[in-house]
Structure 1
Amino acid sequence: MEDPGELRRRVLEAVTDGALAELEFDKLVDVLLGRVRELFAVDTVTVLLLGPAGEQLVATSALGLEEEVYQGVRVPVGVGFAGRIAARREPMALEEVNASTVVNPLLAERGLRTLLGAPMIAGGQLTGVLHIGCTAARRFTDAEVESLQLVADRLALAALAYRSRSERAATTLLQDSLLPSRLPAVPGWELAARYVPGTEAGVGGDWYDVLPLSDRRFGLVIGDVVGNGLAAAVVMGRLRSALRAYALEFPDPADVLGKLDRKASHFERNTMATVGYAVIDMATSTMRVALAGHLPPVIALPGRPAVLAEVPLGPPVGRALAIHGRRSGTVELPPGALVALFTDGLVERRDSTIDDGLARLLSTVDDRGDDEPAESVGAHIMATMVGAHAAADDIALLTARHTAG
């Protein structure tokens, strides 16, 4: 039997090899799995990564049991051998492989008799499970358990870094595809928009939209999904698509947000988002606004100080919070009027209250003249409210100027 200290030394050399840092994640996993099979003298080595929802382990890489990957094996957290390791976050050995101890029939079909697994944890986050198997009866030693955990820890660090890079790239691409590449031309109106991802939370679920509607109407949308990263961006995309569909069917913004709330509460049960939706009627120069937990838009009428629109405020979308229905309010928008919809990243700062931020925003809008183009107003708002300091949270800003009667 190999000396326990010697095994630990060899495993440490294998996982701390500087050459690993130069490898892409998939290649790094392949190299480590090959080394593990040799060092531990086992027949199979498998890595299962935690899925995006955190509820399932997905077979990602394997040696000796490649079918797990090819057949898309998934193991619920808390169920079966790997699932129990993930739930308990501690190594586990299995000396009898059968239908009562594992959920993946491939393990028994391959003739495995013993298994040893370890959780992959980095930065307090579970990223997956690493397990090894033998077709012969075997009792794994404490040194082998400890050594396998060392490999699992190294894989966890690589998996966490890879997931972070991949999710950020995917989130950025998704958000770029969902935000309007160009705002529509609306007769008698100038439109402008800005979006900036937060430096701390990263790209998330903030969005804006402009919807050409029938009967000389168009809609302005601003929203903010609670959370950040890929999950928030995916939810944002679903809400955006649903709102667009409801906007074509229901003229009142309150009805649109009501339908959106029902959809989110039923199908996105862990979702919460703030949304502001306004419909501008070009024939009557009025705007009807409904707010779901979102800050009111700024209204600047010719010759008057900028104010926050006085319209009803309802609860956020999701979790069936709007049990008493939703309401909308109407605002007059004569020629020269400016509307600015924004997410809270524009006005929230750690060193001041949100009321201070809103007051500063109103003062900033007042700095511009009644005939200042929407793009110039938006640029001035960003220059004043953000300036040379990166915002911690996402910022979305949508400005609209009524230029003709």
Structure 2
Amino acid sequence: MVEDRELRHRVLEAITDRTLMDLDLDKLLEVLVFRVRDLFAVDTVTVLLLDASGEQLVAKATAGLDEEVFQGVRIPVGEGFAGRVAKLRQPVLIERVDESTVVNPLLWEHGLRELLGVPIVARDELLGVLHVGVMVAREFAEVEAELLQLVADRVALVAHMHRFRTEQAAAAMLVESLLPARLPSTDGWELAARYVAGAGTGVGGDWYDVFPLPGDRIGLVIGDVVGSGLLAAIVMGRLRSALRAYALEFDDPAEVLGKLDRKASHFERRTMATVAYAVIDTVAHRMDFALAGHLPPIIALPDREAEFVRAPVGPPIGYSLGITGRTGTSIDVPPEALLILYTDGLVERRGADLDERLEQLRTTVHLAAPKAVCAHIMATMVGSEPATDDIALVAARHTTPQTS
């Protein structure tokens, strides 16, 4: 009992060392694995963290098994020893280390006899696995598993904070690089756009895109990938690039969204997104567009109140929801007409009725220069309260004077 109390005191002292909080994640893990090796009198200590896909554990720090990190060892969740710890989310002890119990040959090649592993979990989110190994037969005490879990919990806290900061910074940079730096300049058309990251979720999967197309046409896209953070931003980037490629090959927006849905359903199997894609013919003064689970555009015309464009709304992109085909529609866009495309972050608010917010948006839209319209919409719908979700907004106005 005295030894148990002493070990507990030493472990608590090690993991609450304030100097650790000044270290970045990599350095902290490097320090901790060596402290754990000494405290628990083991031969090896390894920290594996979950990759971005959430499907594999990657060796990030080790004491006694440097090859794991140098060789980029990856263990699928659910497979082998570490994969089992991750899947069960509870301590696991094995007393025989060979190809029947582990998938990483480095473990038995180093002569390890026993392994004790615990999950690294923060806010009910699996982040990785911490395990220790010995080369001689040894009976791990229950208190050792408990204390090793305390170390893992400390790692989880730091890893969670580090991942959040890193992913948000990377996502912000990615989104910023993908949003158009300058909207195309087209005679007879004025364009403006706004993008704001959600204050509650950080950068996510909302995006807008405007690009010239062959044949005096303009492509307008507004989309929203389900989820937030770096993964949603990465998926958004892939969908954006794919849609641009399909837009050059196919004139019909419905067909473009059909191709995008097939691509996302096959390659982005856990992805869902809403997308509105429109093509403006600047010569014929018409707009062809299709909606994949997205809120309808708004059109404002001279001497008329703004109104939502009536159009069929197909299922969102992903999960093969659009296998029966997609339908688009076409509307006239006469001179002075104003078009508004937006994501749901503009109108959705906790505790607010969506229909009332949509009606508020509709009545906010008035004929004016697109930049002024965007400013007015954001002032009215967002105001001084931070948006809880991403907002993307595009305004396009046909400025060509009517000729006889």
TM-score (norm 2): 0.97
Deviates more, 1:188-197 or 1:317-326: 317-326
Match of 2:357 in 1: 357
CA distance in 2 between counterparts of 1:3 and 1:338 reads 77
Per-residue displacement from partner, 1:75-122 (whole Å, max 9, x unpaired)? 111111111111111112222111111110001111111211111112
Equivalent pair of 1:95/1:139 in contact (CA under 8 Å): no
Please state how far the C-alpha of 1:306 moved relative to its aligned partner. 0.3
| Unpaired segments ≥5 residues, structure 1 | none
Alignment of 1:123-202 (within 5 A): 123-202=123-202
Match of 2:389 in 1: 393
CA distance in 2 between counterparts of 1:358 and 1:116 reads 56
Please state how far the C-alpha of 1:182 moved relative to its aligned partner. 1.1
Equivalent pair of 1:208/1:398 in contact (CA under 8 Å): yes
CA distance in 1 between counterparts of 2:88 and 2:106 reads 23
Please state how far the C-alpha of 1:127 moved relative to its aligned partner. 1.0
Deviates more, 1:337-346 or 1:318-327: 318-327
1:380 aligns to 2:376 (yes or no): yes
Please state how far the C-alpha of 1:323 moved relative to its aligned partner. 2.5
Equivalent pair of 2:121/2:127 in contact (CA under 8 Å): yes
Alignment of 1:5-404 (within 5 A): 5-366=5-366, 370=367, 372-404=368-400
CA distance in 2 between counterparts of 1:352 and 1:9 reads 51
SS at match of 2:90: coil
Deviates more, 1:101-110 or 1:115-124: 115-124
Please state how far the C-alpha of 1:404 moved relative to its aligned partner. 0.9
CA distance in 1 between counterparts of 2:53 and 2:211 reads 32
Equivalent pair of 1:292/1:315 in contact (CA under 8 Å): yes
Instruction: Name the amino acid aligned to 2:315.
Output: P
Deviates more, 1:384-393 or 1:350-359: 350-359
CA distance in 1 between counterparts of 2:276 and 2:214 reads 20
CA distance in 2 between counterparts of 1:393 and 1:289 reads 25
SS at match of 1:54: coil
| Unpaired segments ≥5 residues, structure 2 | none
Q: Percent identity?
A: 63
CA distance in 2 between counterparts of 1:105 and 1:73 reads 10
Instruction: Name the amino acid aligned to 1:375.
Output: K
CA distance in 2 between counterparts of 1:122 and 1:249 reads 46
Deviates more, 1:110-119 or 1:273-282: 110-119
SS at match of 1:3: helix
CA distance in 1 between counterparts of 2:330 and 2:93 reads 66
Please state how far the C-alpha of 1:2 moved relative to its aligned partner. 7.2
Q: Structure 1 stretches (4+) deviating beyond 2 angstroms?
A: none
Please state how far the C-alpha of 1:141 moved relative to its aligned partner. 1.1
SS at match of 2:210: strand
CA distance in 1 between counterparts of 2:260 and 2:239 reads 7
Equivalent pair of 2:345/2:387 in contact (CA under 8 Å): yes
Per-residue displacement from partner, 1:270-325 (whole Å, max 9, x unpaired)? 11111001100011111111111111111001111100111221111111111321
CA distance in 1 between counterparts of 2:81 and 2:5 reads 28
Per-residue displacement from partner, 1:315-342 (whole Å, max 9, x unpaired)? 1111111132111111111111100100
Instruction: Name the amino acid aligned to 2:390.
Output: D
Please state how far the C-alpha of 1:228 moved relative to its aligned partner. 1.0
Equivalent pair of 1:299/1:337 in contact (CA under 8 Å): yes
Please state how far the C-alpha of 1:241 moved relative to its aligned partner. 0.6
Equivalent pair of 1:85/1:129 in contact (CA under 8 Å): yes
CA distance in 1 between counterparts of 2:3 and 2:392 reads 61
Equivalent pair of 2:183/2:211 in contact (CA under 8 Å): no
Equivalent pair of 1:217/1:282 in contact (CA under 8 Å): yes
CA distance in 2 between counterparts of 1:64 and 1:350 reads 51
Equivalent pair of 2:119/2:130 in contact (CA under 8 Å): yes
Deviates more, 1:122-131 or 1:333-342: 122-131
Instruction: Name the amino acid aligned to 2:220.
Output: L
CA distance in 2 between counterparts of 1:162 and 1:58 reads 16
CA distance in 1 between counterparts of 2:167 and 2:70 reads 23
Per-residue displacement from partner, 1:20-72 (whole Å, max 9, x unpaired)? 11111111111111111111111111000011222111111111100001111
Please state how far the C-alpha of 1:260 moved relative to its aligned partner. 0.8
CA distance in 1 between counterparts of 2:215 and 2:88 reads 60
SS at match of 1:137: coil
Please state how far the C-alpha of 1:351 moved relative to its aligned partner. 2.6
